[in-house]
Chain A
Amino acid sequence: MSAVAETIETVSAVTEGGYKWGFETDIETELAPKGLSEDTIRLISARKEEPEWLLAWRLKAFAAWQTMSEPHWARVEHAPIDYQDIHYYAAPKKKTPKTLEDVDPELLRTYEKLGIPLSERAALAGVEGGQVAVDAVFDSVSVATTFRATLAKAGVIFCPISEAVREHPELVRRYLGSVVPAGDNFFAALNSAVFTDGSFVFIPKGVRCPMELSTYFRINARSTGQFERTLIIAEAGSHVSYLEGCTAPMRDENQLHAAVVELVALDEAEIKYSTVQNWYPGDAEGRGGIYNFVTKRGACRGRKSKISWTQVETGSAITWKYPSCILQGEGSVGAFYSVALTNNRQQADTGTKMIHIGPNTTSTIVSKGISAGRSNNTYRGLVRIMPRAAHARNFTQCDSLLIGDRCGAHTVPYIESRNATAKVEHEATTSKIAEDQLFYCRSRGLSEEDAVTLIVNGFCREVLKELPMEFAVEAQKLLAVSLEGSVG
């Protein structure tokens, strides 16, 4: 109940407007020279002290990427990206810290400003309900991971992927690229060639992860791309809830973010993956902002395994992402809950793929698109029922809300069913915030902006309730801020 009231407070608190995460951290950075070549990849691999097999894997991905071309089927438009004009590696100069006490105070202050506590003591002092362990990725490197000792006691591994490569090579080698192969698509191939850091999570058999895990991505350096890689493995009967958040400074250039996330759920394991994406969206005229080209995919390999993606996408100049589930295990369950909000000149083309392979697999898709300003918002989703997927079921609901009359909402569902016993349902609606609704709220004392926020939050309710509590509040605030200037 307090959440909406808080949303309203937030709107009024940020009336000066803009993107409050847009500051820049002044820190000495080591940059790889601009450009992409085998040398760049060798440099990254050397910086990360990687084994030979991983360098070979990267080079193979790079070779594949060179034969591929950018996909252009999404409903987004942008100037050509010069892949040779990007720094593929940027890292704070100070040596990677061994303990939290060694983290550069400037970085700690940065995360404090972002509201991410990197001090375990502070996090413990502020405990309300649950603790959250954080992996903080700054440009190309992970700068801190909290609560590792507590997690280790439970047998959970939560560390930067670069460290996992050194400490748990057998796990990384077995699962890396097993869900999203190196040559899967243009951006996944690029990521496989140059990925720098990201999080690695391993939940052993039968373990319920004792706290929420989260990774906080921050792009700071100019003219860099961020190419993080996340790998989560949930062994049989285990359970994990993972959150990611992301922000970047305000810059008038476009910066590329091409991440890959792979999830593997074995028998009866459950992975709940939540994202609040708040990369810098560019200014009101569409200058600057992050190009967010992301491949996220989860494999429900085990019987009755479960993967759910929940995303709140408010940032980025362009969003191109389709978190998907491959439902292999019999009776496995996939879910996709999404809120995508675009304002000003933002473009989003997002949705999911639910690939039903095993029998009795079920999937649920709930997508809420909100378009304001001159933005364009597309839901693109595929539901594919393979011949063996007897009695598979899917339910899809796509709702679009338009604010103003200069924005666009598009729904592009693809349904392919190759098993006659499967049941696929699709519902879609498009609506505008009615003058009646606004007037009704205003006549009760709400300002026009508060009224829009309230109506939008109501529209997104089904998705927001899927988020862990702390994130739900954060997401509502974000929606309010992102809607600024969308009325009047």
Chain B
Amino acid sequence: MALLEIAGLEAEVEGKPILRGIDLAVPLGEVHAIMGPNGSGKSTLAYVLAGREGLRVTAGTVRFEGQDLLAMEPEARAAAGLFLAFQYPVELPGVGNANFLRTALNAVRRARSEPEVDALRFLKEARSALKRLSMADEMLRRNVNVGFSGGEKKRNEVFQMALLKPRLAILDETDSGLDIDALKIVAAGVNALRGPGFSALVITHYQRLLDHIVPDRVHVLTEGRIVRSGGPELAVSLEESGYAGLAAEAAAA
């Protein structure tokens, strides 16, 4: 059984069908990339998996470790080990980053019947994670994403991921707006988590992130369907031929 199993998933936003039948399985320990042009449904897929309101699933199933993921509240999905790194991380004025993270970490740990982490141990873990991500300790004192640059926001997402240690991370265009140094840091953050107990769904428009996070499988999403799947070489060939050819192929199929 794969960690994540999506079968015949269809979803609409404001009455408009966006996902038109997605089948995808991500086994435990594997990193899969989802590539596709703008408007193909990549972010919608990420949001459906994380449980955002306002999206209507009209058909299909999603199983996470065998559980019916779609029946779970967003916080229950987080507790089960799912993490979404947002494309546009949200600002929380007046809420300190350290507070937010420790509260989240302990909420998740409580749900998993694990002991809570005290302030001291949290700080220790947070500081070492920051160091690995080449981020300043000051990050902990700032308010969640308030006044952060685009790159800082993305790194903050990866920082949260490092602390919450998910079983499945969904990275929604985490590379967008990053310069090459930041991109490498983000990739290193993801690679550090790789192992037999961790899977990831890396959503990206460009191949360059996949030079640094080398996926086990690549899926191409166009117009709400996965039109092709392959190994990491598929990303490279896409970079050369573009999505246009694939779309035509999909239409013909």
Residues of A within 8 A of B (CB): 1-2, 4-5, 8, 434-437, 439-448, 450, 454-455, 457-462
Residue interface bits B82-99, CB-to-A below 8 A is 1, else 0: 011010011111111011
Query: Is B11 interfacial (CB 8 A cutoff)?
Result: no
Contacts A445-B104, A458-B143 given; 4 further ones with Cβ under 8 A?
A2-B119, A8-B106, A436-B90, A445-B79
Complex contact B86–A440 (CB within 8 A): yes
Cα separation A388 to B41 with both chains bound (whole Å): 66
User: A434, A442, A459: which contacts B78 (Cβ < 8 A)?
Assistant: A442
Chain B residue with Cβ nearest A453: B103
Nearest Cβ in chain B — how far from A12, in angstroms?
Answer: 9
Majority SS at the chain A contact face: helix
- Residue of A at shortest CB range from B47? A439
Bound complex: CA of A450 vs CA of B78, how far in Å? 14
Neighbour of B92 across the interface among A2, A8, A440, A460, CB < 8 A: A440
List, in ascending order, chain B residues with CB within 8 A of A436's CB. 90
19 residue pairs of the A-B complex, CB under 8 angstroms, read: A4-B95, A5-B102, A435-B53, A440-B89, A442-B51, A442-B78, A443-B51, A444-B78, A444-B160, A444-B164, A445-B75, A445-B105, A445-B107, A446-B104, A457-B94, A458-B92, A459-B94, A461-B94, A462-B94
Q: Which residues of B contact A454 (CB under 8 A)?
A: 92, 95, 99-100, 103
A8 touches B103 (CB 8 A): yes
Contacts of A443 in B (CB 8 A): 50-52, 74-75, 77-78, 83-84, 86
Compute how far the CA of A450 lies from the CA of B111 in the bound complex, rounded to whole angstroms: 14
Among B78, B95, B160, contact of A458 (Cβ-Cβ < 8 Å): B95
Q: Contact partner of A8 among B73, B74, B107, B143, CB < 8 A?
A: B107
**Are A434 and B94 touching (Cβ within 8 A)?**
no
Question: Is the pair B107, A1 in contact by a Cβ cutoff of 8 Å?
Answer: no
One of B52, B83, B107, B164 near A450 (C-beta < 8 A): B107
For residue B86, which residues in chain A have a CB less than 8 angstroms away from its CB?
Answer: 440, 443
Note all chain A residues with C-beta closer than 8 A to B52: 439, 443
Given known A-B contacts A8-B103, A440-B89, A460 and B94 have beta carbons under 8 A apart: yes
**B108 contacts partner chain A, Cβ-Cβ < 8 Å:** yes
Across-interface contacts of A441 in B (CB, < 8 A):
92, 100, 104
Take A5-B99, A5-B102, A5-B106 as given contacts and tell me if A442 and B73 are in contact as well, using a CB distance cutoff of 8 Å. yes
Which of B79, B98, B100 has most A Cβ within 10 Å? B100
B94: which A residues are within 8 A, CB to CB? 457-462
Least CB distance from A455 to B in Å reads 6
List residues of chain A with CB within 8 A of the CB of B74: 439, 442-443
**What is the minimal beta-carbon distance from A14 to any residue of chain B, in angstroms?**
16
Q: Taking A434-B90, A439-B52 as contacts, is the C-beta distance between A445 and B111 under 8 angstroms?
A: yes
Q: How far is the CB of B90 from chain A (nearest CB, A)?
A: 4
Query: Which chain A residues border B73 with CB–CB below 8 Å?
Result: 442, 447
Shortest Cβ distance from A11 into chain B, in angstroms?
Answer: 11
Within 8 A of A (CB), among B216-234: none
CA distance A457 to B143 in the complex (A): 12
Smallest CB gap from B82: residue in A:
A443
